[in-house]
A and B are shown apart, each in its own frame.
Chain A
Amino acid sequence: MNWRATRFIVFETLESSFSYLDAIAFAMVFGAVLFNWPETVVIASGTFGVAAAALAPLQHRRIASISNVRYFAAPLYGRELARAFALGPCITLAVFSGGAIFLYSLLRHRAVSQYGWMVFGTLVSAEVVATLIALSGCFRAGQQRVLYAVLAMIAGIAIWMLGVAGTPLTLVCAVLAAVAIGFAALRALGETLARYDPVDDLTLSAP
């Protein structure tokens, strides 16, 4: 395992991992928890966040960032690239979640309630899974890419719904499901990268 390469790729791809839609979703959930809005608002906000994470394959900025030929020219296995590509979005989501919890504590002058912890934990789990599945779609085209986005959305929303009740038991169930699906998605991303032929950046007009 080449940790230097992993660290380098994470730093290089971190900027493109940032998504305004994710940030908005976390802000909405944060607002809903802070002001004790109805549960339907929390559910809708989280669903919006998961959908935003699942739309990664349709974001040109992210595709361009991770399909750069220099990564594929380096002596790295597909699984090493997969881990490095997955770490950036996971770090971003963790920062969003941590930021929301910190802001909550700052504004309310007290620790986040158990419900708040459970909701944010579930949202991060769901978004990580959606992102990991969606990343495989970045290396596909056309209908396949859309199918991966839909699959990511379904898996993410399922985990979100599993844990949105905000009890320790539902959080454990959501996290366990997220770990199982996320692990499979990461392996699939590694396989995808090992088989990927980076030629999409070469246009017909090449001299």
Chain B
Amino acid sequence: MTAGRAAAVLRAVDATFVRDGVVLVPPFSVEVYPGQHISLKCPDGRAASIAARMAAGIVKATSGTLLIGDFDPRIQPVQVKRFVGYVTHSEDFGWVEPRPAPGSATSKPYEVDSLRRQAAIEMQAALSNVPRREALRRVRATLDRIGWRDTMTFAVALAFIRAVKLLVLDRPPAHLANRVCEVFTDEAVLFCSPQTSEVPSAALVHVS
């Protein structure tokens, strides 16, 4: 399970999230090293989303230890967020278009010049403090690596506007997860999914 030599980009030991006395994410322990692809199987969708946000440093663990690239999200939140790319499942980003129907994902044309996509790049560049031209170059490079051009791959490309070392995907569709496993062989990737979904290319870690 451990790739050994390199330092872990994510190390969680009994990390838990509790809200109002209710355990929303049961304790989980995982270590993710560069080049490793881990699928975190959570009891339900909400637990998966919260676990993904914990791994991205957005939500802080209530108990246990969670270090991201040796940074503690409780005291070094900005360093952590520069380190991690987070791809949300919920389409609460105003710019994400409705997900294409199954089978049509590869045929959907990619228009980097469309206003919505330009606005999305501008937003991510501004929030990450990356020059706009450099952000556009990184998006194009990531999309070229993935090869597919649909809404979700665009979201992954946006995550790589920052020079991230860990990519966290919240409940990704199976086809996207498999493609990410094929393409991002040097990067650490963490998929957070409910028990029912499948990510066959990644090592499984169960949260229960």
Does the CB pair A198–B58 fall under 8 Å?
A: yes
B86 within 8 A of A: yes
Do the beta carbons of B81 and A75 come within 8 Å of each other?
yes
| CB neighbours of B77 from chain A (8 A) | 75, 77-78, 194
Given the interface pairs A2-B129, A73-B56, A74-B128, the reply to whether A203 lies near B46 with Cβ below 8 Å is yes
**Which residue of chain A is the closest to B44 with respect to CB atoms?**
A206
Q: Chain B nearest CB: distance from A78 CB in Å?
A: 8
B51 smallest CB distance to A (angstroms)? 11
Complex interface residues of chain B between 6 and 54 (CB less than 8 A to chain A)? 17, 19, 24, 44-46, 48-50, 53
Residue B153 at the chain A interface, CB threshold 8 Å: no
Given contacts A5-B129, A8-B123, A74-B81, contact A202 B58 (CB under 8 A): no
How extensive is the interface on chain B, given as a class? Answer: 20 to 34
- Residue B202 at the A interface, CB < 8 A? no
Query: A69 interface residue, CB < 8 Å from B?
Result: yes
> Does A204 sit within 8 A of B, measured CB to CB?
yes
**Contact indicator A75/B49 (Cβ below 8 Å):** no
- Which B residues lie within 8 Å of A5 (CB)? 126-127, 129
A10 to chain B, nearest CB (A): 11
A207 close to B171 (CB less than 8 A): yes
Known: A199-B19, A207-B45, A207-B194. A71 touches B127 (CB 8 A): yes
Which of B87-95, B137-145, B174-182 lies at the interface with chain A? B87-95
Q: Which of B19, B81, B126, B171 contacts A7 (CB 8 A)?
A: B126
B52: min CB distance to chain A, Å: 10
B149 proximal to A (CB < 8 A):
no
Residues of B within 8 A of A12 (CB): 123
Asked if B162 is at the interface of the complex by the 8 Å CB criterion, the answer is yes
State whether A73 and B126 are in contact (beta carbons under 8 Å apart), knowing that A199-B53, A201-B92, A206-B44 are contacts in the complex.
Answer: no
Give the chain A neighbours of B59 by CB distance below 8 A.
197-199
Separation of A6 and B104 alpha carbons in the complex (Å): 38
8 Å CB contacts to B: which residues of A45-97?
68-78
The answer to whether A4 has its CB under 8 Å from any CB of chain B is yes
Q: Which of A4, A194, A206 contacts B49 (CB 8 A)?
A: A206
Give chain A interface residues in 164-187, CB to chain B under 8 Å: none
Are A74 and B53 closer than 8 Å at their CB atoms? no
- Please encode chain B, from 144 to 185, with 1 for each CB lying within 8 Å of some chain A CB and 0 for all others: 000000000000000000100000000100000000000000
B residues near A (Cβ < 8 Å) are 17, 19, 24, 44-46, 48-50, 53, 56, 58-60, 77-79, 81-82, 86, 88, 90, 92-93, 122-123, 125-129, 162, 171, 194
9 extra A-B contacts, CB within 8 A, seeds A198-B59, A201-B90, A206-B45: A5-B126, A12-B123, A70-B88, A70-B123, A70-B127, A73-B81, A75-B127, A77-B78, A199-B49
The 9 closest A-B pairs by CB, nearest first: A206-B45, A74-B127, A75-B81, A8-B126, A4-B126, A206-B46, A197-B59, A75-B82, A207-B45
